[in-house]
Amino acid sequence: PYAPYTGVPSHGATAPHIVDSGISHGLTHANCQPDPGEDVGRIIATLFYKTTPRTTAVESRSPSPGSSGTDDAGPKGAPTTSTEASPLEPPPADEIEPLDHLYGSHVSPLCITAFLALLSSLPLPQGHTHITSSHRCLDVPSPSHPRVVELTFSPAPDPAYISLAELRKHELIYRFERAWHVDVVLQADTPLRRHPRLVVFDMDSTLITQEVIDLIAASIGAEEAVSAITARAMNGELDFEASLRERSRLLKGVSAGIFDELKPVLDITPGVVPLLRALKRLGVKTAVLSGGFIPLTGYLAEKLGINHARANTLTIEDGALTGELTGAIVDAAAKAKHLVELAELEGVDISQVVAVGDGANDLKMMAAAGLGVAWRAKPRVQVEAGARLNGESLLDLLFLFGFTRAEIGVLSGESE
């Protein structure tokens, strides 16, 4: 029976005994550090290990995912490869050794430690001598081998020395990414980061794996003409609108039914369908803004359940395309304008808008959004965008909002 404590210690059989309950509990809160009322800025760093093989002259010293883990070796482990193929001098000083080959093909504890050491080398705000950090694994494909890790640290580097935008492009970050074969996405830790309300996508090479103009060119036998226009555009001889109009003129006389013929050919990017399903469950509105043509853009939006679609319109006469465009051209500036208009239409603050694209004509809409994400993009776009993803599935976008793999499975319906 329970006996209330009287202030006199018990003895013998009635004395209380301390036993291990088997329960482990930790209590912490971000507001406990630093001092109350002091805002030093917290940053979220999301580290994505690249599962695609790197191109390097250094042989792997540990098996990568999917490999057998065995090397071509002779008796007692002696290599059978001829030494004639080996360099006689050390690699250049600027060649970065792939450390993931030494410490594991994942975001390893040493990788995280190295990243924290990098951050510690940057000047901190006055009055601060060290950073406080914590991390959690968002995606762990195999035990103890996380692919995606979210690391929170504070304070942010001294803004008088370097801003968040500058930190994203810092040489130290670049070298760290190369050494550990990871992508690092840096975001300010704000409540709205986890709650986007509008996500806007490019279409070509983003929602689908192809470029629609290439599909059209192949279907009408105009590959060489389209390639010539593309080359002139890349050389700076044509801007986007001029190149689009020249490409459109190649369609003069082509049956308007060509778009119906191309609909079954569209190859949706891996992860798009479950991503859109998850965003819908979260109440997030979606849009596709394309520099292509509305028949295919509208079709794709309807098929995927996307709320809004904007693209260019071709004129049609007697069931054939005239090769001329009607209405305003959806170029880089128009994409940014449409993004802002859609945010206003949906009553969404611009800080809760995410823009995803792969090309230079997506940079303006990325800059207009709260977060711009480069998806397997061209080098310039990856440098300029606020975030970048280079994985195999666009579903990785949800990791940037702080969701774990288990939570993503529930939201996308993949775990049902």
Domains of the chain: 39-53+94-189 (3.30.70), 198-412 (3.40.50.1000)
One-letter amino acid at 59 equals: E
Write down the pLDDT at residue 16.
58
Residue with tokens 């090769």: 323
Supply the DSSP string of 353-397, one letter for each residue.
EEEEE-SGGGHHHHHHSSEEEEES--HHHHHHSSEEE-SS-GGGG
- Backbone dihedral angles phi then psi of residue 286, each to the nearest 5 degrees: -135, 155
**CA–CA gap between residue 395 and residue 199 (Å, rounded):** 13
Active-site residue, selected from the candidate residues 100, 139, 204, 396: 204
H or E stretch covering 118: helix 109-120
Distance CA 344, CA 273 (A): 26
Distance CA 276, CA 284 (A): 9
337-to-17, 301, 328, 329 alpha-carbon distances in Å: 70, 19, 12, 12
Q: Please answer whether residues 73 and 80 qualify as being in contact, where contact means their C-beta atoms are separated by less than 8 angstroms.
A: yes
pLDDT of residue 68: 37
Alpha helix (H) ranges present in 159-255? Answer: 164-168, 171-180, 212-220, 223-234, 240-249
189: left (phi over 0), alpha (psi -120 to 50) or beta: beta
The rounded Cα 159 to chain-centroid distance in angstroms is 25
pTM across the whole model: 0.82
Ranges of beta strands (E only) in 2-86 are 43-49
Q: Are strands 371-375 and 285-293 parallel, antiparallel or unpaired?
A: unpaired
Q: Compute CA 334 distance to the chain's CA centroid, rounded to the nearest angstrom.
A: 24
Distances (CA, A) of 270 to 28, 125, 196, 312, 392: 38, 42, 21, 25, 7
Rg (CA), the chain: 27
The residues, any chain, with a CB within 8 Å of residue 337's CB and separated by 6 or more, are none
Digit-by-digit pLDDT tens for the chain (416 residues) are 555 656 566 666 666 566 665 665 444 555 545 555 556 689 999 999 998 776 543 333 333 333 333 333 343 333 334 444 444 444 455 567 788 888 889 999 999 999 999 999 999 999 898 899 999 999 999 888 999 999 999 999 999 999 999 999 999 999 999 999 999 999 999 989 999 999 999 999 999 999 998 899 999 999 899 888 877 876 678 888 999 999 999 999 999 999 999 999 999 999 999 999 999 999 999 999 999 999 999 999 999 999 999 999 999 999 999 999 999 999 999 999 999 999 999 999 999 999 999 999 999 999 999 999 999 998 889 999 999 999 999 999 999 999 999 999 999 998 75
Q: Can you tell me which residue has the tokens 């949906």?
A: 346
CA distances to 42, 172, 185, 307 from 152, rounded to whole Å, are: 7, 18, 12, 33
Residue of 148, 199, 212 lying closest to 356 (CA atoms): 199
**Catalytic residue at 239?**
no
**The pLDDT value given to residue 203:** 98
Neighbours of 79 (CB within 10 A): 12
Q: How high is the pLDDT of residue 79? A: 38
Provide the sign of the torsion angle of the four alpha carbons 114, 120, 122, 125, taken in this order.
positive
* Bond before 155 cis per omega within 30 degrees: yes
Exactly one of 183, 202, 358, 396 is catalytic; which is it?
A: 202
Cα 47 from chain centre: 10
Peptide linkage before 98 cis (omega within 30 of 0): no
Q: Output the pLDDT for position 378.
A: 87
Residue 235 gets which letter from DSSP? T
Q: Are 275 and 408 in contact (CB under 8 A)?
A: no
10: CB partners within 8 A, 6+ apart: 16
Is 39 in the active site? no
